[in-house]
Amino acid sequence: MSRFRHIIPNLVRDGTFVLLFHNLCYTHIKMQTDSLPEARFSWPAWAEFLRRRGLESLAAWALEAAGPLTVLGAQALYLGGPLLRPVLSNGQLDALAGLLEDHREALAFAAFLREEMPS
């Protein structure tokens, strides 16, 4: 244990830890922004699915009202992924979970649903 006490300050002092953390964050952000067009490609199909069942206003309301709790929904999708594979493809499941993980994307999809709703 005492060995690690000396390693961690050295990593922070020489910038290795900071550089490693920066690269991890950059990779995560880069992966999220690269997949946005792919995820939005599914939006019309999802909107049509919800519209046929009369759930578009409920889904838009839930996305707006849930706020940061949508991250828990994304985690539930990842956890229940094996059970959902017969219904959703890997890409659809990842796109939906990604939408729920990003609050701005969830709000954008809610706005997309409201635009799709007939007046």
CA–CA distance, 61 with 71 (Å, rounded to integer) = 16
108, pLDDT greater than 70: yes
Q: What 8-state DSSP symbol labels residue 67? A: G
- Residue 5 confidence (pLDDT): 53
pLDDT class for 90, splitting at 50, 70, 90? confident
- Residue 42 confidence (pLDDT): 87
Domain limits, the chain: 1-34, 36-119
Q: Which residue has the higher pLDDT, 50 or 30?
A: 50
Residue 80, classed as helix, strand or coil, is: coil
- Residue 89 confidence (pLDDT): 85
Closest C-alpha to 101, from 35, 42, 47, 54? 35
Token pair of 37 as six digits:
């067009």
